[in-house]
Amino acid sequence: MIELKAVSKKFNHTHAVNEVSFKVNEAETLVLLGTSGCGKTTTLKMINRLITPDAGEIYIGGEAIANQDGDALRKKIGYVMQHIGLFPHYTIAENIAVVPKLLKWPKAKIEERIHGLMEKLHLPAHTLNMLPNQLSGGQQQRVGLARALVADPAVLLMDEPFGALDNVTRTSIQQEFKALDELKRKTIVMVTHDVQEAFELADRICLMDKGKVVQLGTPKELLYQPVNDFAKKFLAGQQLTLEFKITKLSDIWSFLPNAAAAEEKSEVADVSVWEAMELLRSTGKDRLLAVDEHGKIKALSFEQLTKGFNQYQNLQAHG
Amino acid sequence: MGEQQQTLWQFMSGQSDKLFTQTLQHVGLTFISLLLAIAVGLPLGILIARKRKLSGLVLGIAGVLQTIPSIALLGFMIPVLGIGAKPAIVALLIYALLPIIRNTYTGITGIDEYVKEAAKAMGMSASQILFKVELPLAMPVILAGIRTATVINVGVATLASFIAAGGLGEFIFGGISLNNTNMILAGAIPAALLAIILDLLLSVIQKMDFKRLRRAVYILPVLILILGGFYILPSAYGSSLTAGFTPEFMGRQDGDLGLKSAYGLKIHTIVISDAVMYKAAFSKELDVISGYSTDGRLKAFDLRILKDDKGIFPPYYAAPIVRESALQQFPQLEATLNLLANKITDSAMTDLNYRTDYLHQSPERVAKDFLISQGLYKASRNGNRGTVRIGSKIFGEQYILAEMYSMLIKGNTDYNVSTKTGLGGTKICFDALTNDQIDLYPEYTGTGLLVLLQPDQQVAKAMAHDKDKTYQYVYGEFKKKFNIKWLKPIGFNNSYALMMRDKQSKALNINTITDLKKYLDQN
Ligand SMILES: Nc1ncnc2c1ncn2[C@@H]1O[C@H](COP(=O)(O)OP(=O)(O)O)[C@@H](O)[C@H]1O
Ligand SMILES: [Mg+2]
């Protein structure tokens, strides 16, 4: 869907982006990960031509973007920025309606779309006529997301979209973000410097340093097959949580004890071990029920989860 | 009857027609020029916000333009744009430009970079970003600039009356030259109120939140247009010739009023300042002007005095007037000042004025040359036995006289001299004298009688045309009322006079004011 071929950009004497190449598949989420100043934002902005590359080519849907009209291109690509950048003189409704208005949608269609999005993003309807500065940071970021999604673009670019939020708000918005149907169909390039966030949201991660791609692969590959010292060090110290995050209940399914018939609501086996632990913690219960696609039910407590996970790990290491 | 016994209210209701016209003209001038300044300044501000390298240059030029003194700016305009509304509007536009350009520039450059980037990322074109994001967000700052410009314009518009563009300045400057406080206030109070009201109004708009501001911004240009439309060119009755009279002349019995009552003269008249009147006559903007008989520009611009055959212009013999206390403090002063008595004739004075006003020789040099030619010049004795303070009104002749007195005092006594030249009008000079801010200044008998003393009309009529009687009267009254002494007259008579271009007066065979009236009646 998106392809970068040896793309470079220099600012004065800094080589901000140096021969970066990658492909993003349709409906995939690629996360650009790296320390501040490594060229993530510059790479992202070249995809919607906010910045013009010095060298290299960029294709979206098989077409070179260099030949396209920049304004028209940007109308088709959703963009969420760290600083949110809502228009302070527009109401929330007007902020969300910017792109549809530019695309000259009929009024009724715009209104319907806005109301739908407000609901999906858990924005109360009474905020529609407020100005951005009357909203909380979390609400503003949701509006920023709604603004990017409103015209249903096939491609979504996000630059540290949760960076401006406090920890609690960030975690909850990340969860909602993952659950949004709307996003499942989209090709997403997201920038972050936060390893945990990358592992939580990425299908694949592109680890960058000093304008270059260090490693491109799934979270699992990054965790278990780092290509060099830099990649290893980047994840160091967070190993265990990251492993919990990339291991699904379905992976350790066979190591979990069976339960009797479900007397309570149960979780699907598709969540990660980390999420299951979060659930145990947040609900305060000492056990949780999970069900797989065959209707088989397993009971999970903290001990059983860790035990199952360890057995699975051993098998990975020696099997 | 003395106009001072009138209350301000009586004056204003008596002159309500004029007051109304002047106020409308004032508002009109302010807003026409404001509209044009916005039309020029806003795009310039946007341009330099885009090309920041130009900002220093553009803001610098606008800044320099704003420091040009208003009268000078109006003067520069006349050769290019003539007199009347056009040059006044252009001058006002120039003053309003800086705040508008500067605030547009800072308003736009001050917008959060991320907001501009977001606009671009949404796919807005450059012009959409400008109109949907940058201008609306910069609007409160731009409005603050417009507010400043408006208040400046209300103030500067008072000077429009100098070049016949009307406005409340007609009352203000007429009042200053006529020593008529009511007239000054009748112009100054509405002008001040206008400034306060407009300032308040714009501050309310400026402080609106964005939602309401958006609506207000649509209304504003319409409002400015309507207010600009208030400007109706001052037009009395049409006539084949056009007269330009100073505000002072307009309000005087021995001026326009006398021309109407004694001669029955009906001529299309516009009010204009002395500073530009002669040039306007020369460049055929005006045909008849109210000048002074010894004015150097008479010679410079080839003008000719029409004979006052019914004698309505009283004599204006010049003489130094001195506070009695100063004469006591400086015992040698009176004799020294009187050295100049009867030394300068009408034509000599016209010539001296011509040298300063037209040949641009310094008053100092002209004064020195004359004293040398009269054998009166002595080198300064650099005395230090007290300082005599000499004042003068704000025109060439007075500067020359002040210089002569200064040289005479320095050369003949051990006193030092400080000069305070260019004191606005009669009232300002005279107040400075009575308030002990100066010790003497050259005054004219006619002015002393009709402007400063303002006696009963009967008394004035009885003596106004007799040179000696007038002198005796002002001599006695000034002593009694103000403790001020009229010294001996210098010799020349600088009276009011009507004048025309020499060529035109010959062509139309107009030699006297009566001729002028006859010509106007026939054409
Ligand atoms: N507009 C610019 N002008 C000059 N240097 C820039 C500009 N934008 C980015 N840079 C530099 O390019 C490098 C990469 O920046 P950026 O892409 O913003 O990094 P990241 O998003 O990974 O933090 C940094 O060294 C930054 O200072
Ligand atoms: Mg960045």
> B242-304+498-522 maps to which CATH number?
3.40.190.120
Nearest CA in chain B to A79: B121
Check: CB of residue B502 under 8 Å from CB of residue B303.
Answer: yes
- Count the neighbouring beta carbons within 10 Å of the beta carbon of residue B293: 20
What b-and-e string marks burial along B240-278, b requiring 16 or more CB atoms within 10 Å of the CB? ebbbbbbbbbbbbbbbbebbeebbebebbbbbbbbbbbb
Paired tokens of B397: 């002749």
Q: In a mutagenesis test of the A interface, which of B113, B114, B122 is the best target, namely the one with the most A β-carbons within 10 Å?
A: B122
pLDDT band for A195, please (50, 70, 90 cuts).
very high
Give per-residue pLDDT as tens, B123-171.
999 999 999 999 999 999 999 999 999 999 999 999 888 787 888 988 8
Residue A114 contacts B where some CB pair is shorter than 8 Å = no
Give per-residue pLDDT as tens, B176-211.
777 788 888 999 999 999 999 999 988 888 888 777
> By alpha-carbon position, which residue is closest to atom 2 of ligand 1?
A11
In angstroms, what CA-CA distances link B19 with A32, A271, B182, B301, B465?
73, 85, 12, 34, 33
CB < 8 Å to A102, chain B: 122-124, 128
Check: CB of residue A2 under 8 Å from CB of residue A60.
Answer: yes
Read off the pLDDT of each residue in A240-266 and give the average, rounded to a whole number: 78
In angstroms, what CA-CA distances link B135 with A90, A91, B395?
13, 17, 48
Mark the residues whose beta carbon lies below 5 A from ion ligand 2. A 41
More confident residue, B71 or B33: B33
- Rounded distance from Cα A51 to ligand 1 centre (Å): 11
Pick from A85, A99, A147: CB nearest B115: A85
| Subunit contact B123:A102, Cβ cutoff 8 A | yes
Check: CB of residue B313 under 8 Å from CB of residue B502.
Answer: no
Residue B389 in this model has a pLDDT that exceeds 90: yes
| Subunit contact A72:B128, Cβ cutoff 8 A | no
| Residue where a domain terminates, one of A239, A257, A292 | A239
Residues A25 and A98 in one domain: yes
- Rounded distance from Cα A227 to ligand 1 centre (Å): 25
Residues A252 and A207 in one domain: no
The pLDDT assigned to A264 comes to: 60
Read off the pLDDT of each residue in A80-103 and give the average, rounded to a whole number: 92
CB < 8 Å to B213, chain A: 89
Pocket of ligand 1 (CB under 6 A): A 11, 14, 16, 34, 36-42
The pLDDT assigned to A300 comes to: 82
Residues A181 and A313 in one domain: no
Least confident of A194-198, A276-280, B137-141: A276-280
What CATH superfamily classification does B3-235 receive? MetI-like (1.10.3720.10)
Quote the number of domains for chain A: 2
Cβ neighbors of B494 (< 8 A, separation 6 or more) are: B292, B293, B294, B295, B316, B318, B349, B397, B444
Least confident of A288-302, B446-460, B461-475: A288-302
CB < 8 Å to A84, chain B: 114, 118
Paired tokens of A266: 């149960």
| Subunit contact B115:A87, Cβ cutoff 8 A | yes
| Subunit contact B121:A79, Cβ cutoff 8 A | yes
CA distance B200 to B204: 6
Residues A274 and A223 in one domain: no
pLDDT band for B475, please (50, 70, 90 cuts).
very high
The pLDDT assigned to B456 comes to: 83
Least confident of A192-196, B239-243, B416-420: B239-243
Give per-residue pLDDT as tens, B275-303.
788 888 888 888 999 888 888 888 888 89
Judging by DSSP bridges, how do beta strands B416-423 and B387-393 pair with one another?
A: parallel
Each domain of chain B, given as residue ranges in start order, spans 3-235, 242-304+498-522, 318-494
A-B contacts (CB, under 8 Å): 64
| Subunit contact A87:B114, Cβ cutoff 8 A | no
Residue A131 contacts B where some CB pair is shorter than 8 Å = yes
- Rounded distance from Cα A137 to ligand 1 centre (Å): 25
Least confident of A110-114, B74-78, B396-400: B74-78
Residue B235 in this model has a pLDDT that exceeds 50: no
Residues A74 and A192 in one domain: yes
Give per-residue pLDDT as tens, B318-350.
999 999 999 999 999 999 999 999 999 988 999
Pick from B117, B123, B209: CB nearest A99: B123
| Subunit contact B121:A74, Cβ cutoff 8 A | yes
Atom of ligand 1 nearest to the CA of A38: 22
Nearest CA in chain A to B136: A89
Q: How far is CA B410 from the centre of its chain?
A: 33
Question: From edge to edge, which strands make up the β-sheet containing A14-24?
Answer: A14-24, A2-11, A55-60, A63-64
CB < 8 Å to B138, chain A: none
Check: CB of residue A80 under 8 Å from CB of residue A145.
Answer: yes
Most confident of A291-305, B129-143, B169-183, B220-234: B129-143
Residues A170 and A34 in one domain: yes
Residue B57, CA atoms < 13 Å, CB-side half-sphere = 7
Residue A263 in this model has a pLDDT that exceeds 80: no
CB < 8 Å to A98, chain B: 122, 124
Q: Tell me the average pLDDT of chain B.
A: 87
Paired tokens of B449: 């009688």
Residue A252 in this model has a pLDDT that exceeds 80: yes
Residue A164 contacts B where some CB pair is shorter than 8 Å = no
In angstroms, what CA-CA distances link B170 with A15, B73, B159, B234?
69, 18, 8, 11
CA distance A138 to A162: 9
Question: From edge to edge, which strands make up the β-sheet containing B496-501?
Answer: B268-271, B242-245, B288-292, B496-501, B303-306
Which is nearest to A211 in space by CA: A46, A25, A30?
A46
What DSSP string runs through A169-194? HHHHHHHHHHH-HHHHTSEEEEEES-
Nearest ligand (C-alpha, residue A35):
1
The pLDDT assigned to A268 comes to: 63
pLDDT band for A24, please (50, 70, 90 cuts).
very high
pLDDT band for B1, please (50, 70, 90 cuts).
very low
| Subunit contact A131:B210, Cβ cutoff 8 A | yes
pLDDT band for B465, please (50, 70, 90 cuts).
confident
What DSSP string runs through A260-316? SS--S--EETTSBHHHHHHHHHHH--S-EEEE-TT--EEEE-HHHHHHHHHHHHHHH
The residues of B whose Cβ lies within 8 A of any Cβ of A are 112, 114-115, 117-125, 128, 133, 136-137, 209-211, 213-214
Residue A10 contacts B where some CB pair is shorter than 8 Å = no
Residue A180 in this model has a pLDDT that exceeds 90: no
Read off the pLDDT of each residue in B62-67 and give the average, rounded to a whole number: 89
CATH of the domain at A273: 3.90.1280
| Subunit contact A86:B118, Cβ cutoff 8 A | yes
Residues A47 and A122 in one domain: yes
Give per-residue pLDDT as tens, B90-132.
999 999 999 999 999 999 999 999 999 999 999 999 999 999 9
Q: What are phi and psi of B326, to 5 degrees?
A: -70, -35
B318-494, which class in CATH? alpha beta
Read off the pLDDT of each residue in A287-312 and give the average, rounded to a whole number: 83
Pocket test of ligand 1: the residue of A42, A50, A83, A160 to mutate, having most ligand atoms within 8 Å of its CB, is A42
Least confident of B316-330, B444-458, B495-509: B444-458
The pLDDT assigned to B86 comes to: 84
> By alpha-carbon position, which residue is closest to atom 12 of ligand 1?
A16
CB < 8 Å to A74, chain B: 120-123
Domain range enclosing A262 = 247-317
CA distance B179 to B107: 46
The pLDDT assigned to A153 comes to: 94
Read off the pLDDT of each residue in A177-185 and give the average, rounded to a whole number: 85
